[in-house]
Structure 1
C-alpha cells in the first residue's frame, strides 16, 4: 500500500540516525558542489555569465553550510558524551549545550534571507532535533525531586537549609530566533506619512522600512535587498528587488512586492501582491492573503526584465508555510479573491500615486 503525501512529509521530519546521516551527506555535497562551481568560474572568468550577486549568494550559502555542519557535529558530540559526565558537573554541561544550540539557532535566523528553501528547512529541522535530544538528556540525567513524608521539625530544618544554600542557577532560556533587520538606509519611526524613494543612480544596495504606523511607502528602481520590520496599517509598493525581501512583525498591511525571494515571519491580517521567482515562505503567520503583483511606474517593465523578474512565474500563489507540515492546505494563508483585490497602483514621476483599473 502506497504511503500518503502526509506520511512523506512527516517522514522527512523524523529524527532517525539514517536521516541525520543523509542530511549531513547532502549538506557536504552542496559545499563541495559550490566549491567546484567557484573554481570553475575562476578558471573561465572571461566566459562567465553569472552575476556578482550570484557569486556572493553561493559563497554565503557555502559559508553557512560549513559553519552549521561544524557546530552541529560539536553539539551532537557533547550530547552523546552527557551520560559519562560526572553528576556534579552535568547541569553546567547541559547548560553549555543549550547555549550552543541557541547560538546555532541565531546563526540560522541571521542567514535565513540568503538560504535556499531546502537548506533553511533542513537547518531548522536539525536545530529542532538537537533541542529534543537535549531535553531528553536533561530529563534522564538531571536529579529528580524526591517525595517523602517529613515531620514538622525536619521540614523547618530543610527550609532553613534551603534559605542558606544558594539555589542552582536555572538553565538559560532559549529565545525564539529573531530575523535580524540590518542597519541600512531606510525609513524608520514614522506615522501617518507618505514616504517615497527613487533608487535610480543612488548606489543603495539594501534598504529598510522599520517601525512605521499608518504610512504609505513607495520605492522606485532596483535594490539588492529589502528589510521590513514592525509595520502596522501600512501600504508598501516596491519596484524589483534583485535578491531577497525579509518581512518581520507586520500587522494589517498591504504589500506590493517583486523579488527573487520573499520570506515573511510573524505577519497577521496582511495582503501580499507578489511577483516572485521562488515560492514565498511564511512562518508564524495568521490570516495572510496572496495575489499577483499590481504596480506600475515609468520604466518599471525594463527594470523587471533587468532584474530577472520580467515573466510572471505564478509563484505568488505557491506559498510554503514552515509551521504547517500536513499535506492539506495551511489555514494560515489563502489566495485573495479577485473581487477583493486592489486595483493596479501607479506611481508617477512626482512620487504621487493612485490606483488605476487594470488594463489588458
Structure 2
C-alpha cells in the first residue's frame, strides 16, 4: 500500500467511523421514542449519504476494511428498517351482485369480517405563518397537546417567544430578520431558507438547509447538521433562559463540505456563556426594531 493510499485510508476510516457511530446511536435512540416520518426521513438521508461516501471510496481502501464498513452500513440499514411502521392489510368481501330476491339476510348470514380500521388520525399540526413586525407568543396558536408539530413560516422582522410551550417537532421555513426563542423539545427541528435570523432552541436532532447569516444558540447532544448554508454561527443555549439545561459541547456536520479541512460555512460564536449577556425579550418589547437590531446577526456577514 502506498503512503498516499495509507494516509487516505486512515483519514477516511476515522471520519467514516465517527459518522457511522453517530448515526447508529441516533437509530438506537429512535427505537425507544416515538419517531415521526420526518425523523425517519432524516435518518434515511443520512444513511444514504454514508453509503455514498463509502461507495466513492471503493478501490482506495483495503479490502478487509471495505467489507467491514459495508457490513456496518447494512446493520444500520436493517435497524432503520425495523423502525418503519409495518403495513396492515385487511381483506374486504366483494359486494354481492344484484339479485332478484328481496329476502332480508338474517344476522347469521351477514359478514363477520370487521371493516378495516380507519387510517385517518386527527391532525396535530399547528401553524404560525405570514406575520411581519410583530411580537408573537403561544397566544397566536390554538390550544395544543404535547404531541403537536408546529410549522413556522413566512415571517419577517418578528420576535417569536414560545419558551413556555411544548411541541414534538418544529418545521421552520422562509424567515427573514426574525428572532426565534424556542423551547427544548424531544424531537427534531428542521429549518429551511432563513436569512439574517437568530434561533434559540433545544432538540434531539437539528438540521438547517439553504440558510445564511444565522446565529444559533442550541442545546443538543448529537451533531447539528447544515447543508447549502453559509455564515452560520453556533453557541450553547443561554442558561439565563432555562436553569434546567446543562450546556454540552457539540460538533457541527456540514454536508456541503465533506472534507477533512474545517468548513468555511460555520463557526462558533466567540466567548462563553451561550448568549447570557444578551437582553432576550422574554417579557415583550416596546420597540421591535430596536430589539431586533441588538439580537440579529451583523449585516456585514452576508
TM (norm. structure 2) is: 0.56
Q: Give the corresponding residue for 2:257.
A: 324
Q: Residues 182-215 of structure 1: CA distance to partner in whole angstroms, max 9, x if unpaired?
A: 982131011111111179x841421121010111
Q: Give the corresponding residue for 1:184.
A: 125
In structure 2, the CA distance between the partners of 1:312 and 1:190, relative to structure 1 (3 Å rule), is same
Is 1:223 the counterpart of 2:167? The answer is: yes
Question: 1:274 deviation in Å?
Answer: 0.8
- Give distance in 1, aligned partners of 2:10 and 2:192: 29
Is 1:253 the counterpart of 2:197? The answer is: yes
**How large is the Cα RMSD of the aligned pairs?**
4.2
Give the one of 125, 145, 166 matched to 1:203. Answer: 145
Q: Give the corresponding residue for 1:41.
A: none
TM (norm. structure 1) is: 0.48
Contact persistence 1:219–1:238 (CA under 8 A): yes
Q: Residues 24-51 of structure 1: CA distance to partner in whole angstroms, max 9, x if unpaired?
A: xx9xxx8xxx8xx9xxxxxxxxxxxx9x
Give the one of 41, 45, 51 matched to 1:112. Answer: 41
In structure 2, the CA distance between the partners of 1:346 and 1:53, relative to structure 1 (3 Å rule), is farther
Q: Give the corresponding residue for 1:8.
A: 12
- Give distance in 1, aligned partners of 2:33 and 2:269: 36
Give the one of 195, 199, 224 matched to 1:280. Answer: 224
Question: 1:238 deviation in Å?
Answer: 1.0
In structure 2, the CA distance between the partners of 1:53 and 1:290, relative to structure 1 (3 Å rule), is same
- Give distance in 2, aligned partners of 1:295 and 1:313: 12
In structure 2, the CA distance between the partners of 1:286 and 1:346, relative to structure 1 (3 Å rule), is closer
SS in structure 2 at match of 1:56: coil
SS in structure 1 at match of 2:186: strand
In structure 2, the CA distance between the partners of 1:242 and 1:53, relative to structure 1 (3 Å rule), is farther
SS in structure 2 at match of 1:323: coil
In structure 2, the CA distance between the partners of 1:193 and 1:295, relative to structure 1 (3 Å rule), is farther
Count of aligned pairs between the two proteins: 208
SS in structure 2 at match of 1:270: strand
In structure 2, the CA distance between the partners of 1:212 and 1:4, relative to structure 1 (3 Å rule), is same
Q: Give the corresponding residue for 1:314.
A: 249
In structure 2, the CA distance between the partners of 1:183 and 1:319, relative to structure 1 (3 Å rule), is same
